[in-house]
Amino acid sequence: MNNDDQNIEPGAFHNDHPEQEERVEADRLDPSEPGYRARSIGAPRQADPVARRRKLLVIAYYYPPMGLSGVLRIAKFTKYLRNYGWEPTVLTVGDVGYFAYDYSLLEEVLEAGVKIERTGTLDPLRLFRRKGTIKMPPDGRRRMLSGLTHVFLQPDNKIGWKRYALKRALELAKHEHFDAILATAPPFTSFLIGQELQKQLGIPLVVDYRDPWLDNRNYFYATPLHRGYAAGLEEAVLKNSDGVVVVNRKIKEKLIARYPFLTHEAVHIIPSGYDPQDFRLANRFPLPRSRKMRFTYSGLFDARRTPKFFFMALAKIFAQYPETRDEIEVCFIGTFQESFRKMAAQLGVSSALVTTGYVEHHQAVRNLLASDVLWLTIYDPSITPGKVYEYIGSRRPILALAPEGIVRTVLNEYGAATFVDPENVDGIAAAIHVLYTQWREEQLPVGNEGLAREHDQRHLTERLARILAYSLRI
């Protein structure tokens, strides 16, 4: 059953002719102003096409055609920066193996005019370059290997990329003038590359934290000396940066608490977002809707983030309301490990599973829009997965299995989010039943249009462009 309101096209409030849309004047706002955010209504202002675009060197290890979540934020920034007066050249790696590839994203940034410079590297992924796509190892083994490499390689195991990236960047700088550098991390080797280039080229550096550095749960510090060394690296980067961007308030607060020289005005929050163009395209070529109620989870699970408690709750629903077994299905977009399939079988819910495997981003968005409820599970209260914002862009109901923290703060104004602690089986079961009843009655809620607009990738890129311009003191 489908709620008619669910067929509202996400992004439908965006005009295809942004120059005709009314907006609130924001040019007088300094991006260093506390609480700065784009105050536009509709599409954001675009740069004067006659004015010279400033040239931006972007340091990004993870970039299309690599896939997965670490790529999307910087890919969308670089796609839209040209609209706001910046011409990006992306410095990234070339011949390495990786867990997933998304050639549709590569095509997207190339069509937007992004220049890409690929270099060699000496890091673990280079060892798999002949294999292309690598099978993702079990999470425990992946974390163990990452921890071992962090004992010997700082700030991370991508440090072997640094000399290749520096050499190519300096070669490029002989032939064209770059106005600023944007380095995105992890890996935090990107920050060290940006810092060295800032010194040698004498141009501003803006750093973008997608995740924390010292507090990153994927990073292992064998001794206090290891952690102290990493802290020294981070402090040096931040002291020399002309702008600091973070993905959420928790990272900002921790940086300011750790480094007293940072002020609230110096650290800017730009969350991840969603691209309305992706949703318009997905609505143009929709996937058929299932006759069953579909809960969808997008992304990966690991040893600390598991579908176990959702499966246990679903088993309770199936036992208590036998008719739901034929009316509820659970879709997983992305790599789904065999161990979780066995878990579902042991709990008696495997018949409800639908798995897509890894799909390119545009296809993932089509799957989101073919869903009735979008589900996420998160344990770390300080992080906001990028999928949260794509869920917001879909305007579908969200079942957020999350502790008190950033995710709940972001979704508080969504108007169609249900919050449950991630291991509260009875609470999850109750939430599933309420949503199921709403589905049966065609009364599923629709997400807040205003919040969706606030996370439009174009608005977020405009904010980044202003911060870059401010780094030049213009």
pLDDT per residue over 47-58, tens digit each?
554 457 899 999
Closest of 13, 133, 42, 1 to residue 439, by C-alpha? 1
Query: Using 50, 70 and 90 to split pLDDT, how confident is the model at 125?
Result: low
Q: Distance between CA 439 and CA 433 in Å, rounded? A: 10
Residue position matching structure tokens 């409820």:
373
Q: Distance between CA 424 and CA 418 in Å, rounded? A: 13
Closest of 355, 344, 338 to residue 315, by C-alpha? 344
For 132, the enclosing helix (H) or strand (E) is none
**Burial environment of residue 303 by CB neighbours within 10 A (0 to 12, 13 to 18, 19 or more):** exposed
Query: Using 50, 70 and 90 to split pLDDT, how confident is the model at 22?
Result: very low
Cα–Cα distance list, 162 to 130, 205, 224 (Å): 22, 16, 25
Q: Distance between CA 67 and CA 268 in Å, rounded? A: 26
- Render pLDDT for 314-349 as a digit per residue (tens, 0 to 9): 999 999 999 999 999 999 998 888 889 999 999 999
- In sequence order, which residues have a C-beta less than 8 Å from that of residue 441 and are 6 or more positions away? none
pLDDT computed for residue 52 by the predictor = 74
Residue position matching structure tokens 């673990």:
124
Q: Is the pLDDT of residue 404 over 70?
A: yes
Is the pLDDT higher at 193 or at 120?
193
Q: What is the mean pLDDT of residues 410-415?
A: 94
Cross-strand partners of 375: 297, 399
pLDDT computed for residue 8 by the predictor = 35
pLDDT computed for residue 21 by the predictor = 32
In the chain, the N- to C-terminal Cα span, in Å, equals: 55
pLDDT computed for residue 3 by the predictor = 41
The pair of structure tokens assigned to 298 is: 């997008």
The DSSP-derived string for 300-350 is --BTTB-SHHHHHHHHHHHHH-GGGGGTEEEEEEB---HHHHHHHHHTT-G
Is the pLDDT higher at 405 or at 23?
405
Least confident of 17-26, 154-163, 304-313: 17-26
DSSP 55: E
Is the overall model pTM greater than 0.75, yes or no? yes
- Render pLDDT for 366-398 as a digit per residue (tens, 0 to 9): 999 999 999 999 998 888 888 999 999 999 999
Strands 398-401 and 417-420: parallel
The pair of structure tokens assigned to 449 is: 């249009």
Q: Is the pLDDT of residue 38 over 80?
A: no
- Render pLDDT for 234-248 as a digit per residue (tens, 0 to 9): 999 999 999 999 999
Centroid of chain to Cα 174: 33
Cα–Cα distance list, 434 to 6, 58, 269, 411, 437 (Å): 17, 46, 35, 19, 5
- Render pLDDT for 85-112 as a digit per residue (tens, 0 to 9): 999 999 999 877 667 788 999 999 999 9
pLDDT computed for residue 148 by the predictor = 66
Q: What is the CATH number of domain 31-40+48-273+457-471?
A: 3.40.50.2000
Residue range(s) of every CATH 3.40.50.2000 domain in the chain = 31-40+48-273+457-471, 277-454
Whether the Cβ atoms of residue 201 and residue 178 lie closer than 8 Å to each other:
yes
Which percentage of the chain shows pLDDT scores above 70? 82
- Render pLDDT for 137-189 as a digit per residue (tens, 0 to 9): 555 555 656 666 666 778 888 999 999 999 999 999 999 999 999 999 999 99
Reply yes or no on domain 277-454 having CATH 3.40.50.2000: yes
Cross-strand partners of 352: none
**Whole-number mean pLDDT of the chain?**
85
**Burial environment of residue 195 by CB neighbours within 10 A (0 to 12, 13 to 18, 19 or more):** buried
Q: Distance between CA 84 and CA 468 in Å, rounded? A: 10
Q: Distance between CA 325 and CA 323 in Å, rounded? A: 5
The pair of structure tokens assigned to 230 is: 């990493």
Least confident of 136-140, 358-362, 460-464: 136-140
Q: Is the pLDDT of residue 36 over 50?
A: no
Angle between helix 361-369 and 387-394 (nearest 10): 50
For 87, the enclosing helix (H) or strand (E) is strand 86-93
- Render pLDDT for 219-273 as a digit per residue (tens, 0 to 9): 777 788 988 999 999 999 999 999 999 999 999 999 999 999 999 999 999 999 9
pLDDT computed for residue 15 by the predictor = 38
pLDDT computed for residue 147 by the predictor = 61
Degrees, nearest 5: CA angle 107-111-116: 75
